[in-house]
Chain A
Amino acid sequence: MSSWRSLLLRIGDKCPDYGTSSDFKEHIETCFGVIRRELEHSSDDILPFLLQCAEQLPHKIPLYGTLVGLLNLENEDFVKQMVETTQANFQDALDFGNCDMIRILMRFLTVMMCSKVLQPSSLVVVFETLLSSASTTLDEEKGNPSWQARGDFYVSCILSCLPWGGSELVEQVPEEIECVMVGIEAYLSIRRHNSDTGLSFFEDDDESGSGVVEKDFLEDLWGRIQVLSSNGWKVDSVPRPHLSFEAQLVAGKSHEFGPINAPEQPEPLSEVSGVLYGKQKHNAELKYPQRIRRLNIFPASKTEDMQPIDRFIVEEYLLDVLLFLNGCRKECASFMVGLPVPFRYDYLMAETIFSQLLLLPLPPFKPIYYTLVIMDLCKALPGAFPGVVAGAVRALFEKIADLDMECQTRLILWFSHHLSNFQFIWPWEEWAFVLDLPKWAPQRVFVQEVLEREVRLSYWDKVKQSIENAPALEELLPPKGSPNFIYSIEDGRERTEQHALSAELNNKVKGRQTAREIISWVEESVFPNHGWDVVLKVVVHTLLDIGSKSFTHLITVLERYGQVFARICPDHDKQVMLIAEVGSYWKNNAQMTAVAIDRMMGYRLISNLAIVRWVFSPANVEQFHTSDRPWEVLRNAIGKTYNRISDLRNEISSLKKSVVSAEAAAAKAKAELDAAESKLSLVDGEPVLGDNPVKLKRLKANAEKAKEEEVSVHESLEAKEALLARALDENEALFLSLYKNFSNVLMERLPDPSRARTLRELKSIQADEMTVDLDESSVMEVDNESRRPNKSQSNGGKDSNIYNVGEKEQWCLSTLGYVKAFARQYASEIWAHIEKLDADVLTENVHPLFKKAVYSGLSRPVNDVSSG
């Protein structure tokens, strides 16, 4: 890397490129000194690289902005070009809805304004354009309020610029900026408060029952900006290096910023409710998602004391580092810990990362990325960060009963993985008390599932050793994982006829008989004499046992003898029994149960519908609140179905591109042929129609070949589209079956709607039953508007271990949690079939709590009664 590049890249960092200096002013001077010399012959390289640095290291934007301001004094053309490029990029970002780019380029424009490269009024024009677009969106006639997410996003971008340049704007264009602020206030007064309770981390956030409405993200940001404004726009967390160069910068020439057009408004809707509104709102929120939801797990006494706006800014810095430096572990960790702010932010950093790890519906990256970042920060700040992480774990564990089900699963996966990277060290004795809790208590289930995952990542004895501070917890360790082979002959058990059949089958496999030979053996000698039940048991147990040594052994057996399973289990009913046998063989090993079922679905030996039915069979339903086992299988089955559909969609989208290019190629070849055919050429001095025959022949062949290719691409596209159509039908059937099953099992167990209108009421049923005479008052308390009820069931300060939810109630709470989680994760797929779901499942008769869980997962207003 040549030196100007590394100076640009490393500006503001403590690094050898800048010697011992950590002073921003010196960094800018050094960098400017080199860049101005290089500008002459490398300006074509410098411009894109400088922009790229600003876009991907946005926490350094003030430094880059000041640098551009200084360059503006040297080379106006270069900076003019830079402004034009930025304008073009910004317009593209708006057109394509590239949220990160829009946000970051607006910050860049703001700092260029501070460095006198842009007129403040140009920036105000950008603000006004976006604000006007946002306000129009809310207008039912000219806009489409279901797209409020986009308007909110634009307004949040405007507000986000103010910490970087609010002070300059207020000083230089006070009336204009005041006008923008008034406009934002007006926007805030007409927009709908965002109450996506389906996306909150903690279950009770949505039904406090109190009149207090938590601020949504935009309202919160507005509040922070107002505090900032009343503080005279002073921000600790934003470096203002341009002030050191003010005397020079004022001489710079401001450049024109070309007009910006906000994208067109979506088509107006005929009504602002109903299915169409819901679908569009869902799409808009997918395109313009909220970046962060605050977790607020640390007590105020622990978190760093900072101005409201500083919290927002540090979060922005951290999220951008996470976004742009994924895959660069060293840089990511060092930027995370070395932000340009004059205060400590360890707790805020932990909370921000955890809020991403748990972000609903999906974090920007896979959870394993945040796992890695947390590990790296523990290593980068060995004295401070591990303790903060442990604090976060304790805080989340305290509130686990209220934590969203999906978040619980992610937390289990993260925590077990994290511990596996730190020698499984954890003060388990702190949690030994969970053994005194009922087996359905969420804290107990959490410990049990963490241990299960630890064993999978390691091995039983190792994990056993790791809990030696709380040996009683061994009770929660999974069984040792060996197969439950019912035809084992090792322990000298009595040999039955079935043992003999199993041994015979085993010999056939050893003797390399083909699947077909085994099928005929089954059909000719086993089935007629012993019946289907024996066939199933013998085949499943024996083949699985042969494949039990490892994942690869399992695959080998399924590849070779899958047809045997397919033959004996051709329909759903039999497949459900097949899965049950698999579950019986691997009853001591949840991982292998899940893997075996997943692979069998992969080889299409069992259908996703059969898996759903098995998951909802009584033996599994009984475990819904005490184990992840059935849920893991269900997650896999739906995930695999979804992956298949996504693959088809990707193939179709690339085939569509191929079709376009094949059509173009065919048309071109045809045109060349036509041109050649109609060309007059001289043959023996006579004009003849058509080019020379050799060329004609070649062109003709080309044209035919191109046409053939076009047809063939078309055919594969049609084939794939047919497959997708079928897959979507199957998907509809899957979700219908899933939600019908959910509805049925919940209907059997949920108390009468009059007794449990909210989850809070559901939770307190057992407590109420124990204190019957207080029943009235406890309900009253919940409804009491003046007092917000205890934030969490299991978080009543020192008495945090009191857990008194009844088994049936916890079963309902857990199951409703999964109802919501699946709806949320697959909301896009479910919205596509919502009419059918409304008609067949979400009818008048379903339990209101069930309906509420589905609706909240889909972010669909509950009062939004859709008549179809």
Chain B
Amino acid sequence: MASLFKDLTKLSAYRDRRFPGNQEEFEQALHTSTTVYIGNMSFYTTEEQVYELFSRAGEIKKITMGLDKNSKTPCGFCFVLYYSREDTEDAMKFISGTILDDRPIRVDFDWGFQEGRQWGRGRSGGQVRDEYRTDYDPGRGGYGKLVQQELEAQRQLVDYGTGSLGSFPPVMPPPHYGRRGGHNQGGSHPQSRDYHHRKRHREDDRPPRESSKRTLDHESRRNFDPNSRPEKNPRFRESANSDDEEEDGGKQRP
């Protein structure tokens, strides 16, 4: 990569406060890591979509989806582990800022996945950034968690009835959905998406057991055994709820 315009020693402006070491060790980890962090994903993006896109930068060893620590559903980030460093760098250089599932995603070097890092660090279970957002983002569960709570409180006051507020559409359309670029807007408006039919069939043909269909979809997807309860997912069995001591970590990557 050209060294004229980029400081090659500075790989990431994000500093994970939970990294168990000093700044130097952190940078060393970033320089040798074969893991990338992917942010600003839609909650609905699947591992297979991630696989299709990121395998274009090289052979993938592992994908770890970031999950809401309460609902165990994807909460908009993931880690991709490559076999080679070169492929990792290419993923960072050539995929960051491009679109996956209609969203510009961010790809950053990561110091390496460790058990526990798949959980959202926000107070409500998801990522910290989704706590305080005030915009309406249909790909990430609607409004930010705090705004949702506020709306919920207001709504109960005026007794609008029940319903999943997270996916309650805003009064005004989101202000800047369209992207710069030569093509005009088109395709489906995000709000008209039929969420529970949007993913592969195999995840959709099970009967609803809860009121929130979306949550159910993801629970069953995460669920290792189709007939057992969500908590039985063996991938995460050792460390469930082991990681809630502080919630700063996500404080917005650049």
* Chain B CB within 8 A of A552 CB: yes
Best-buried of A458, A555, A560, A589 by chain B (most CB within 10 Å): A458
Residues of B within 8 A of A483 (CB): 202
A383 touching B90, Cβ below 8 Å: no
Identify the closest chain A residue to B96 (Cβ).
Answer: A329
* Chain B CB within 8 A of A437 CB: no
Residues of A within 8 A of B127 (CB): none
Identify the closest chain A residue to B102 (Cβ).
Answer: A423
* Chain A CB within 8 A of B253 CB: no
Residues of A within 8 A of B10 (CB): none
A551 touching B187, Cβ below 8 Å: no
Residues of B within 8 A of A490 (CB): 205
* Chain B CB within 8 A of A667 CB: no
Residues of B within 8 A of A550 (CB): 46-48, 65, 221-222
Residues of A within 8 A of B90 (CB): 365-366, 368-369
* Chain B CB within 8 A of A296 CB: no
Best-buried of B93, B94, B197 by chain A (most CB within 10 Å): B94
Identify the closest chain B residue to A332 (Cβ).
Answer: B2
Residues of A within 8 A of B6 (CB): 327-328
Q: What per-residue 1/0 map shows which CB atoms of A496-511 lie under 8 Å from chain B?
A: 0000000000100110
* Chain A CB within 8 A of B216 CB: no
Residues of A within 8 A of B202 (CB): 481-483, 548-549
Q: What per-residue 1/0 map shows which CB atoms of B1-33 lie under 8 Å from chain A?
A: 111111000000000000000000000000000
A556 touching B94, Cβ below 8 Å: no
A553 touching B224, Cβ below 8 Å: yes
Residues of B within 8 A of A647 (CB): 83-84
B183 touching A423, Cβ below 8 Å: yes
Q: What per-residue 1/0 map shows which CB atoms of A555-584 lie under 8 Å from chain B?
A: 110001000000000000000000000000
Q: What per-residue 1/0 map shows which CB atoms of B171-210 lie under 8 Å from chain A?
A: 0000000001111111110000010011111110100000
A591 touching B235, Cβ below 8 Å: no
Residues of A within 8 A of B48 (CB): 456, 550-551, 591-592, 595
Best-buried of B51, B57, B203 by chain A (most CB within 10 Å): B51
A552 touching B205, Cβ below 8 Å: no
* Chain B CB within 8 A of A386 CB: yes
B225 touching A423, Cβ below 8 Å: no
* Chain A CB within 8 A of B211 CB: no
- A-side binding surface: helix, strand, loop or mixed? helix
Tell me, in angstroms, the Cα distance from A60 to B180 when the chains sit together: 30
Identify the closest chain A residue to B224 (Cβ).
Answer: A553
Residues of A within 8 A of B235 (CB): 552, 556
A421 touching B224, Cβ below 8 Å: no
A366 touching B94, Cβ below 8 Å: yes
Best-buried of B62, B90, B225 by chain A (most CB within 10 Å): B225
From residue B31, how far is it (CB to closest CB) to chain A in Å? 15
**With A366-B90, A382-B181, A465-B188 given, is the CB distance from A546 to B224 under 8 Å?**
yes
* Chain B CB within 8 A of A175 CB: no
From residue B225, how far is it (CB to closest CB) to chain A in Å? 5
Residues 189-245 of A contacting B (Cβ, < 8 Å): none
A413 touching B56, Cβ below 8 Å: yes
* Chain B CB within 8 A of A480 CB: yes
Residue among B52, B59, B65, B181 making CB contact with A639, cutoff 8 Å: B59
Residues 612-656 of A contacting B (Cβ, < 8 Å): 639-640, 643, 647
| 18 pairs from A and B in contact (CB 8 Å cutoff) | A53-B4, A326-B2, A366-B57, A366-B94, A368-B57, A368-B90, A369-B93, A371-B94, A372-B94, A383-B182, A423-B187, A460-B201, A461-B197, A506-B225, A509-B225, A549-B220, A555-B62, A556-B235
Interface, chain B (partner A; CB < 8 A): 1-6, 46-49, 51-53, 56-59, 62-65, 83-84, 89-90, 93-95, 97-102, 180-188, 194, 197-203, 205, 220-228, 232, 234-235
Q: Which 4 pairs show the lowest CB-CB distances between chains A and B? A: A386-B182, A327-B1, A382-B182, A482-B201
Instruction: Kindly list 17 other residue pairs between chains A and B, CB separation below 8 angstroms, not including A425-B183, A466-B187.
Output: A327-B89, A327-B93, A328-B2, A366-B57, A369-B94, A378-B181, A382-B180, A420-B99, A421-B99, A458-B101, A549-B202, A550-B48, A550-B65, A551-B48, A552-B62, A552-B65, A552-B235
Interface, chain A (partner B; CB < 8 A): 9, 52-53, 56-57, 324-329, 331, 365-369, 371-372, 375, 378-379, 381-383, 385-387, 413, 417, 420-425, 453, 456-462, 465-466, 480-483, 490, 506, 509-510, 545-546, 548-553, 555-556, 560, 589, 591-592, 595, 639-640, 643, 647
